Amino acid sequence: MPSSPLPTLLAILVLLVAMAGVLLALWRSRQRERRDRQRFELVVRAISDGVYDLDVVADRLWRSEALCRMFDLPAEGSGADVGDWLERIHPEDRARVREGFRAAMASRTTEWQVAYRYRRPDGTVGHMRDRMLIVRDGGGRPLRAIGGVTEVSAEQTMLEKLGLLERAIEANSYGVAIVDALAPDMPCVYANRALARMSGYTVGELLGHNLRLLQGSEREQPGLQSLRRALREGREGFALLRNWHKDGMAYWVELMVSPVRDTQDRITHWVGSQADVSERVATEQALAHRATHDELTDLPNRHLFRDRLAQALRESRRFGLDLVVLFMDLDNFKLVNDSLGHAAGDELLRTVARRLQGCLRQTDTVARFGGDEFVVLLIGDAESDVLRVIDRIAEALRRPMELAGSMHYVTASIGYARCPQHGEEAGVLLQRADMAMYQAKARGRNRAVAYEASFDQGVVERLTLANQLREAIAHGEFELYYQPLFRWDGRVQGIEALLRWNHPQRGLLAPGHFIESLEESGLMAELGRWVLRDAARRPVDLRAAGFDEVRVIINVSATQLHHDLLADIEAAVKDFELPSSALEIEVTESVLMINVESTIEQMKRVARLGVGFAVDDFGTGYSSLSYLKRLPIQRLKIDRSFVSGLGTDPDDEAICASVILLASSLGLDTVAEGVETEVQRDWLAEHGCGELQGYLLGRPMPFDALLALLNSQRN
């Protein structure tokens, strides 16, 4: 097929036009580019700022002429780099700028700015602000840093710095204040918001005032004194202070003050910064309290007491004051604890602690030494004052307390020692008060005894005693003596079994030497059971000798009463085929008062076996009439201490007369113990006392000897 030239020409023409279009566009773009570049160069030249473009990857620095001029750097292309530039920065600012730059690069930020001083080519110092944009790749790695540097005046840098400082101080959680050291009364000229928050005052309320207003009226704190010293000496000071919030709440701060000096080294201001450390102080105080106080009663503990005593002894030496240490142990506490449980025991101790505190003056200290031991320190007391305090304590304890639903009566044995007569050292005084307390226990509890030199021997004995007692039981060294009880007309009515210890070295010992140790070492239950068995066979012997009506009287301890007494008596009555009324049990008045409800219950069970009860040492405890009426008792045994005064002491006579009256109104018999003189015997017989016991009529002696005596008297 022949070809026509026309379409070919047309195609060429179109191609040419297209090419011309492309060339034109290319030319235009070049033109625009040149114009942009020109504009860029002109702008860079026209502005006074230095401009730079750092290729981070290739470590190439492009910079404008202005920048080169500013920092005296060689023109672009000379190979000078960031290092040369840094060289021009003021040595004091250089490291900061370098580190700042590094940190900005390493972070993900795309903008960074910094102010610094630099050395001008003429040697003077100028101030620069440098702002930079950071271009990063998709992974956040920096590619370029493009920025500009502007010269700013020194004032502006200063202002910026100040602004920064103020923002920093405002943002600080420390309370910061500046006071004018030259103005009268050193008013506050600056306070940050944290200080306002901490103190409850507005910044406005703080400005213009001396900041002592923060300590309220507490102007003599130890912290303030050290602070004042620092201010006087013009040096830094540090103190822990108690401040008062505007609303009246106390808080603790740790305050640091530093002097600010002018060019002539004069202190113009003080700057203080404080942190609220209330929580820390509270924790510290709580820990210190825990370390020095008893957890159960919150009374001072042994350590704190010793501190106070040592302090009091120092003062006593300086001012010649007397002081007295009271050692107090509750009677029969263990029994309450065992029978009612620890919760009731704790409650009892807390109540006792409260009552003790109520008996004492501000200057006295009462501490709990552990268990049921309390110690009291009385300062500057005459003997009569001590006795008054002891009375108050006894009075306070005697008030009934309700524990686990029943009423309890607490008594205590108290020993005391006095400085300087009985010792001038804490350890000695405590030990001697303790010895005296032990004597109070040995003399029947529920009493107070002053230390005497003769007690020292007792302590040594006591230490070895518990061990010896254990062996004595094993070796059968105990024996029962019997003391008769007579009717007014001389007829024997009963014989009381009294424990004796045939000590291999010391000879025959009465219970006063060991009964407390027996209780303490837990041996009383075992020995008490032996006493019961041994005494319970005597009615058989008495009947064989024709003394059918004579009862055998057995003393029992608190521990026995609340534990095995019923079972032991049941067994004895059965084994020895005892008629009822052959046995009588003596319980001291103070033992009756422990755990009242359980006591009544136990005694009633024993009484059902036909065994009678007498209340021993009557008059020394605090039993109430209504209580006595509920007990299955036959007899009150008037305590020896009242009998001893008959015929001489009208008080004792009044007491004995009223006990006899009281007993008969309750339908009870009376026995008087410790009858030593004929005057006593006659008085008792005249006043209607049912039975008499005492050295005048018959001493305790072995059973066979007593039987022989009774036989001879009958004849």
Write down the least CB distance from residue 695 to ligand C2E, Å. Answer: 3
Q: Which does 674 bind (CB under 5 to 8 A by kind): ligand C2E, Mg ion, none?
A: ligand C2E
CB 635 within 8 A of CB 669: yes
Q: Please identify, using beta-carbon distances, which residue of 276 and 516 lies nearer to ligand C2E.
A: 516
Greatest pairwise CA separation for the chain in angstroms = 187
Write out the residues near ligand C2E by the rule CB under 6 A.
483, 497-499, 510-512, 515, 528, 531, 555-557, 586, 616-617, 640, 673-676, 693-695, 700
Q: Please identify, using beta-carbon distances, which residue of 423 and 700 lies nearer to ligand C2E.
A: 700
Q: Which residues of 225-249 are buried (b: 16+ CB within 10 A; e: fewer)?
A: eebeebbeeeeebebbbbbbbeeee
Of 51, 89, 52, 55, which is closest to residue 71 (Cα–Cα)? 89
Q: Which does 50 bind (CB under 5 to 8 A by kind): ligand C2E, Mg ion, none?
A: none
For 414, the enclosing helix (H) or strand (E) is: strand 412-419
Write down the least CB distance from residue 552 to Mg ion, Å. Answer: 12
Q: Which does 494 bind (CB under 5 to 8 A by kind): ligand C2E, Mg ion, none?
A: none
Q: Please identify, using beta-carbon distances, which residue of 432 and 637 lies nearer to ligand C2E.
A: 637
Write down the least CB distance from residue 637 to Mg ion, Å. Answer: 6
Distance CA 638, CA 619 (A): 7
CB 170 within 8 A of CB 190: no
Sheet holding 250-261, edge to edge: 188-191, 175-180, 267-276, 250-261, 237-244
Q: Please identify, using beta-carbon distances, which residue of 368 and 563 lies nearer to ligand C2E.
A: 563
Q: Which does 515 bind (CB under 5 to 8 A by kind): Mg ion, ligand C2E, none?
A: ligand C2E
Write down the least CB distance from residue 557 to ligand C2E, Å. Answer: 4
Q: Please identify, using beta-carbon distances, which residue of 486 and 622 lies nearer to ligand C2E.
A: 486
Please tell me what DSSP assigns to residue 211: G
Q: Which two tokens stand for residue 623?
A: 């039993």
Q: Which does 147 bind (CB under 5 to 8 A by kind): ligand C2E, Mg ion, none?
A: none
Q: Please identify, using beta-carbon distances, which residue of 555 and 560 lies nearer to Mg ion.
A: 555
User: From residue 489, how far is each of 498, 671, 688, 700, 707 by CA, in Å?
Assistant: 24, 14, 12, 20, 19
Q: Please identify, using beta-carbon distances, which residue of 519 and 617 lies nearer to Mg ion.
A: 617
Q: Which does 652 bind (CB under 5 to 8 A by kind): ligand C2E, Mg ion, none?
A: none
Q: Please identify, using beta-carbon distances, which residue of 553 and 628 lies nearer to ligand C2E.
A: 553
Q: Which does 484 bind (CB under 5 to 8 A by kind): Mg ion, ligand C2E, none?
A: none
Q: Which does 238 bind (CB under 5 to 8 A by kind): Mg ion, ligand C2E, none?
A: none
Q: Which residue has the tokens 């009566």?
A: 409
CB 614 within 8 A of CB 551: no
Write down the least CB distance from residue 448 to ligand C2E, Å. Answer: 19
Write out the residues near Mg ion by the rule CB under 5 A.
555, 586, 616-617, 673
Distance CA 135, CA 138 (A): 10
Q: Please identify, using beta-carbon distances, which residue of 397 and 552 lies nearer to ligand C2E.
A: 552
Of 237, 250, 248, which is closest to residue 277 (Cα–Cα)? 250
For 671, the enclosing helix (H) or strand (E) is: strand 669-672
Q: Which does 483 bind (CB under 5 to 8 A by kind): Mg ion, ligand C2E, none?
A: ligand C2E
β-sheet bridge partners, residue 112: 132
Q: Please identify, using beta-carbon distances, which residue of 364 and 673 lies nearer to ligand C2E.
A: 673
Write down the least CB distance from residue 558 to Mg ion, Å. Answer: 14
Using DSSP, state whether 379 is helix, strand or coil.
strand
CB atoms inside a 10 Å sphere around CB 634: 18
Write down the least CB distance from residue 555 to ligand C2E, Å. Answer: 4
Write down the least CB distance from residue 527 to ligand C2E, Å. Answer: 8
Q: Which does 196 bind (CB under 5 to 8 A by kind): ligand C2E, Mg ion, none?
A: none
Write down the least CB distance from residue 681 to ligand C2E, Å. Answer: 11
Residues 6 or more apart from 47 whose CB is under 8 A from it?
66, 148
Q: Which does 512 bind (CB under 5 to 8 A by kind): Mg ion, ligand C2E, none?
A: ligand C2E
Q: Which does 517 bind (CB under 5 to 8 A by kind): Mg ion, ligand C2E, none?
A: none
Write down the least CB distance from residue 504 to Mg ion, Å. Answer: 27
Q: Which residues of 400-436 are buried (b: 16+ CB within 10 A; e: fewer)?
A: ebebbebebbbbbbbbbbbbeebbeebeebbbbbbbb
Q: Please identify, using beta-carbon distances, which residue of 499 and 606 lies nearer to ligand C2E.
A: 499
Write down the least CB distance from residue 620 to Mg ion, Å. Answer: 9
Q: What DSSP assignment string belongs to 528-588?
A: HHHHHHHHHTHHHHHHHTT-TTPEEEEE--HHHHHTTHHHHHHHHHHHTTPPTTSEEEEEE
β-sheet bridge partners, residue 449: 415
Distance CA 101, CA 54 (A): 12
Q: Which does 602 bind (CB under 5 to 8 A by kind): Mg ion, ligand C2E, none?
A: none
Write down the least CB distance from residue 336 to ligand C2E, Å. Answer: 18
Q: Please identify, using beta-carbon distances, which residue of 519 and 586 lies nearer to Mg ion.
A: 586
β-sheet bridge partners, residue 243: 251
Write down the least CB distance from residue 500 to Mg ion, Å. Answer: 14
Write down the least CB distance from residue 617 to Mg ion, Å. Answer: 4
Q: Please identify, using beta-carbon distances, which residue of 144 and 640 lies nearer to ligand C2E.
A: 640
Write down the least CB distance from residue 564 to ligand C2E, Å. Answer: 13
Please tell me what DSSP assigns to residue 3: P
Of 348, 351, 380, 350, which is closest to residue 363 (Cα–Cα)? 380
Q: Which two tokens stand for residue 7?
A: 């379409």
Distance CA 659, CA 618 (A): 9
| Helix-strand-coil split of the chain, %, nearest 5 | 45, 25, 30
User: From residue 439, how far is each of 435, 455, 517, 558, 644 by CA, in Å?
Assistant: 6, 8, 12, 19, 20
Q: Which does 294 bind (CB under 5 to 8 A by kind): ligand C2E, Mg ion, none?
A: none
Beta strand pairing call for 701-702 and 323-330: unpaired
Q: Which does 498 bind (CB under 5 to 8 A by kind): Mg ion, ligand C2E, none?
A: ligand C2E
CB 241 within 8 A of CB 223: yes
Q: Please identify, using beta-carbon distances, which residue of 455 and 642 lies nearer to Mg ion.
A: 642
Q: Please identify, using beta-carbon distances, which residue of 517 and 557 lies nearer to ligand C2E.
A: 557
Q: Which does 316 bind (CB under 5 to 8 A by kind): Mg ion, ligand C2E, none?
A: none
Q: Please identify, using beta-carbon distances, which residue of 297 and 557 lies nearer to Mg ion.
A: 557
The HSE-up count of residue 371 (CA atoms within 13 Å, CB side) is 11
Write down the least CB distance from residue 664 to ligand C2E, Å. Answer: 22
Q: How many residues does the chain have?
A: 715
